[in-house]
Amino acid sequence: MKGLLLLLVLLLCSAVTSQSQGPINRSSADLPALLVFDDRTPVESKRAWPRRRNEIRNLMLEHFTGFPPSDTPVILNSKITGSRIHADGSTRRRISLTLNTPNKFTFEIHVWIPSGNKQPRPLLLTQPRDYQLPWAEMALKRGYLVCLYPGVDSHHREKDYPGYDSIWKALRDEYPAATWTEIICKAWIAGRCLDYLLDPKHDYEIAPEQIGIIGFSRYGKQSLIAAAIDERITSVVARSPGSPGSTPYRFSSRNTCAETPSDFPGEWFLPSLRSYAGRENELPMDAHGWLGLIAPRRCLIHTAHNDGSEPTFGVERAYVEARKVYQLHGRDEHLRIHYRTGQHGPITDQQRRENLDWFDLSFRRGQVIQADFPIELIHHFDWTRWQEQQATKALTPPKRLTAESSRDEIEACLQWSLGQAPTQIKNASETQFITEAESKMMTHDRWQVKDVARSPLHFGEGLRGNLYFNATIKEPMPVVIWLHPYSYHSGYNEGYGVEGTTVYHRLAQAGFAVIAYDQCGFGLRLLEGRDFYQTTPHWSRLGRMVHDVRSAVDFVFDGKGAIKGDRPKMDPTRTYALGHSLGGTVALYAGALDQRLRGVASFSGFTPLRTDTDDRPTGGIQRLWNWHGLQPTLGFFTGNEDAIPFDYHDLLGMISPRPCLIVSPKNDRNTTYSEIVETLRESRIGAGKKKSNLTHLAPEEADRFGKDEHLMFLNWVKDLTSNN
């Protein structure tokens, strides 16, 4: 029987594979394919790649940066305006370059030449921002020639490089018909530096095909774009370039607490790009296009586990798609993600050495080997391996629920979908409480408000979180368990899009005790998610998340756990689960399975399972079982979603008659609004004679979770109190 089931699963997977090779969905949750032409035919050889590359280039310029001038001006004049011998023996020059533009555009660069015998040397380009100059010094010691070019951002200033932040404006004035924006202007200037440095008459003796560029954050974006538009750059290191650099907007929008197209400052990108905020899935190409344009040259994305600018999941989705182009060229090893612990900054000397090691590897210098940069993926989930480890019972779905199904039958069905918890759950944390250093790194106190205190707590199996409460309130407070969205990098903390303060600070100020913690595989528990199915193959990450909510309820009701500092008075009978996006999903499952919760509030928390096919703009149920590896049992139903034995109306029925708030924005790209409405109708019918206590709010907007949404929750609870 088990063998037959496995065969059926393999056939379903085969069907999914064949479907994925079909026409491109221009409104898709996943990334537009790099190896499929605009006419929807596949790119089948290296010979065909240049035509597809040109299509990608045009899409990236059209939608992100604008187009530079079609003709490249020659260098009319170059003049060394300063030269000195540095203490390290290097020669450091200031050079003025004049281009043959209408007004003879002139700009300055710095060129550092290492000491020693004259010989062909590798070249490193970078922008002279203060935290990037140590890269230049270190590269010089390794024998690199270094060029510092005027790519300093308009929001920065460097006193030793005056005007480097604004010279791009004069350049853009030279070409009023060009549509280019700030970031590509400066990337284009890097190319004009190469025109000068590679001209034999200037005698710089640069080694052929040994040209690198490096940048951090916004300069990482600029470096990626420079390499994308100039194929003479043979290797690039982009440290934490964020969105839309290493991270596609499809995977860094509001339900990740990261950047949307509306967040970039100034004139980095085209103003028209902002119109895609909330509908990022409609972009005909996304940030992974830069990686495709760089292929098959070497590219290293250096990012941090808890980098506030780029969710690790988005970085890996871009890598997985771009890697296909590298594989087409037989250069799989030329693209890598290099992880570090910590946040966006600071840059350590060890990290700088590793960055330069990538260039040494690229240019076959020193002792660096490819194994020093292995493939390292946090979010890869091997569903086939998972299902091979399951027992027959886990592979056998329960019968489809009906309106007559009992609560016990519904609960058993839900438990099957969440997997089997182990008898002993490993304590994953090394410290009892979140440390002050960890809270500082995760910016837990960034959005503080008056009277709100934060106390570290622990509960359940290795769970560490924080309790937020208004220290001026002495009577028992209602409790909210805050469940965050798909914010892999930041966990429960909110980043981009905060309006005044976070939900946990705002609710605490309003009189709630708020329990906030990182869910399994997020924030400080990021690597726990990576290793979850190796250590717990029969459970599911969603099952662990629901279990953790119930452990938080145990803390409130029974005092199981501990708190660092004074424990405020809490009213267990008024305990609510509040979640956004993924957190909204977890809240619904927890509410269905734990009757102690007074009520559940789910914001953008679901779209019906049985109609969520993979060809939908939502991404289908594969988001749950495959992309995020949350609920693997759903993988049995891909291509046959209607056979899923339960759906969200069953969960809502289990929550009834307790109060439940469903907020489903009509323009949420991750859901199908009309089908949510139908689900809510079914759940009310299923409540029978019981009062459903179901409140549905449908704002005319995209998925978000800001001040207005916080107030929706507060007003809902207020109405519950006044009606009792």
Same domain for 354 and 244? Answer: yes
**In percent, how much of the chain has pLDDT > 70?**
95
3-state secondary structure of 340: strand
How far, in Å, are 173, 470, 475 from residue 704 at the CA level?
A: 38, 26, 33
pLDDT of residue 2 exceeding 90, the answer is no
Task: Using alpha carbons, select from 582, 571, 573, 574 the residue that is nearest to residue 548.
Answer: 582
Among the residue ranges 6-10, 482-486, 534-538, 563-567, the one predicted with the least confidence is 6-10
Task: Using alpha carbons, select from 235, 259, 247, 211 the residue that is nearest to residue 321.
Answer: 247
* Mean pLDDT calculated for residue range 593-606: 98
Among the residue ranges 77-86, 100-109, 335-344, 683-692, the one predicted with the least confidence is 683-692
Same domain for 256 and 206? Answer: no
What's the CATH code of the domain at 457? Answer: 3.40.50.1820
Provide the pLDDT for residue 94: 98
Same domain for 530 and 489? Answer: yes
- The angle that helices 218-229 and 49-60 make with each other, rounded to 10 degrees, is 140
Residue ending a domain, choose from 184, 213, 242? 213
Same domain for 442 and 523? Answer: yes
Same domain for 258 and 143? Answer: no
Structural domain includes residue 147: yes
Q: How many domains does the chain have?
A: 3
Tell me the C-alpha distance between 650 and 644, whole Å. Answer: 12
Tell me the C-alpha distance between 405 and 401, whole Å. Answer: 6
Tell me the C-alpha distance between 141 and 352, whole Å. Answer: 13
Same domain for 481 and 582? Answer: yes
CB neighbour list of residue 412: distance below 8 Å, 6 or more residues apart: 398
Same domain for 555 and 703? Answer: yes
Same domain for 513 and 561? Answer: yes
Task: Using alpha carbons, select from 217, 379, 431 the residue that is nearest to residue 307.
Answer: 217
- Which two tokens mark 221? 């974006």
Among the residue ranges 117-131, 164-178, 424-438, the one predicted with the least confidence is 424-438
The strand pair at 206-216 and 121-126 is best described as parallel
Which domain, by its residues, includes 557?
427-608+647-723
* Mean pLDDT calculated for residue range 702-715: 97
pLDDT of residue 600 exceeding 60, the answer is yes
Number of neighbours of residue 707 by Cβ within 10 angstroms: 14
Task: Using alpha carbons, select from 325, 311, 164 the residue that is nearest to residue 245.
Answer: 311
DSSP for 524-568, please give it.
Answer: GGHHHHHTHHHH-TTS-HHHHHHHHHHHHHHHHHH--SEESSPPP
Number of neighbours of residue 169 by Cβ within 10 angstroms: 12
Same domain for 555 and 663? Answer: yes
Q: What is the pLDDT of residues 12-26, one digit of tens each?
A: 343 333 333 333 345
Q: What is the pLDDT of residues 421-451, one digit of tens each?
A: 998 887 666 789 999 999 999 999 999 999 9
Question: Measured in whole angstroms, how far is the alpha carbon of residue 183 from the centre of its chain?
Answer: 21
- State the number of CA atoms in the 13 A half-sphere of 474 facing the CB: 0
pLDDT of residue 206 exceeding 50, the answer is yes
SS3 of the chain: helix, strand, coil, percent, to 5: 40, 15, 45
The band of 677, judged by pLDDT with boundaries at 50, 70 and 90, is very high
Q: pTM for the whole thing?
A: 0.94
pLDDT of residue 581 exceeding 90, the answer is yes
Number of neighbours of residue 382 by Cβ within 10 angstroms: 11
